[in-house]
Amino acid sequence: MSDQTHTLRSDQVAAIIKQHGAELCSLRDAAGNELIWQAGPEWPRHSPLLFPIVGRLKNDELRHRGTVYPMGQHGFARDHDFEWIARDQNCCALVLTDNDDTRKRYPFAFRLMVTFVLNGSDLNVTFDVTNTGDEVLPASIGAHPAFNWPLLPKLAKESYSLTFSDDEPAPIRRLRGGLMRAKPEANPVEGRTLALSDRLFVDDAIIFDQLKSTEIGYAAMAAPSIRMSWNGFPQLGVWSKLGAKLLCIEPWYGFASPESFDGEFFDKPGLMHLAPGEQRTLRYRISVGGQ
């Protein structure tokens, strides 16, 4: 058993979790197909955990009670080693708590536990965020799994689509310089289907900030398929880096700062606010389908 990684196995799926960032770095189906992006040179991550922010803050600065703290895009959890607290064939759990390094960027006490449970063809992921301090904890959290696109190399990227569980008529949001543009844009989803192509991501991520769905399918004809479902995440990002064969389906609680926002972090739109001692639980599931 490695300190750096842990493998979960069922008769249908195998998943590898890294201690660094509590990151899912491999997900293979029963046929041995790798479904997770393998951190190629175009984008060096697999499935980073976004905490305590999603997206960027203006000037990469967090303002709290007159003090300015440096805070890079998507926060710091993805770049920290978590502590293993449970490991067996079908389950593992890791935890990150505030420390001297995190308090230089985020002056709040917290406990973040991430649990992975493999059940047949389903990988269930749970985030437990706890306020261990004596003041209100403002935070965002998000998942960022990057799937291979295409899931099988013999297929064209344009043969894939996303299918939402509900109609998604609301406008979408886009970014400029990593910050949320003020004006919403036309939604490219037709009914419940988003036909995938590289041109969708010329303007960075597609952000659903008025999301109705709690489930999405990612598939093409005659190929492995992915179904993601979530609970507790009110927003969704869909992203691909131009030139890379990856597609990220990202349940979020929170989003990048609006271009016009430059105030106290506590007042930033999109945050959860946890009272001292309060815990918030958010979940998502990756279900792997066969050919």
**253-284 pLDDT tens trace:** 999 999 999 999 999 999 999 999 999 999 99
Sign, CA torsion 53/118/163/281: negative
Task: State the Cα–Cα distance between residues 71 and 14, nearest whole angstrom.
Answer: 34
Task: State the Cα–Cα distance between residues 160 and 7, nearest whole angstrom.
Answer: 29
Q: What is the mean pLDDT of residues 181-187?
A: 96
Q: What angle do CA 44, 50, 56 make, to 5 degrees?
A: 90
Supply the pLDDT for residue 248. 98
Task: State the Cα–Cα distance between residues 155 and 247, nearest whole angstrom.
Answer: 14
Report the b/e string of 228-256 with b at 16+ CB within 10 A: bbbebbbbbbbbbbeebbbbbbbbbbbbb
Mean pLDDT of the chain: 96
Residue 291 has pLDDT above 60, yes or no: no
**100-143 pLDDT tens trace:** 999 999 999 999 999 999 999 999 999 999 999 999 999 999 99
Q: Give percent of the chain above pLDDT 70.
A: 99
Residue 103 DSSP label: H
* CA 184 to the chain's CA centroid: 22
Supply the pLDDT for residue 20. 98
Sign, CA torsion 88/92/93/94: positive
H/E segment holding residue 163: strand 161-164
Sign, CA torsion 101/5/85/271: positive
Pairing, β 161-164 against β 215-219: antiparallel
Residue 14 has pLDDT above 80, yes or no: yes
Q: What is the mean pLDDT of residues 160-177?
A: 97
Task: Provide the H-helix boundaries in 76-227.
Answer: 100-103
H/E segment holding residue 101: helix 100-103
Supply the pLDDT for residue 2. 75
**55-65 pLDDT tens trace:** 999 999 999 99
Identify residue 132 by its one-letter amino acid code.
Answer: T
Pick the CATH number of 5-289 from 1.10.599.10, 2.60.40.420, 2.70.98.10, 3.40.50.300: 2.70.98.10
User: Which range among 46-60, 167-181, 215-229, 268-282 shows the weakest confidence by mean pLDDT?
Assistant: 215-229
Supply the pLDDT for residue 290. 64
Nearest to 139 by CA among 280, 285, 283: 280
107 and 138 Cβ atoms separated by less than 8 Å: no
Supply the pLDDT for residue 1. 58
Residue 222 has pLDDT above 80, yes or no: no
User: How many contiguous H segments (helices) and E segments (strands) does the chain have?
Assistant: 1, 23
pLDDT tier for residue 200 given thresholds of 50, 70 and 90:
very high
pLDDT tier for residue 206 given thresholds of 50, 70 and 90:
very high
Nearest to 197 by CA among 236, 157, 238: 157
Q: What angle do CA 192, 194, 197 make, to 5 degrees?
A: 175
Q: What is the mean pLDDT of residues 2-14?
A: 94
221 or 290: which leads in pLDDT: 221
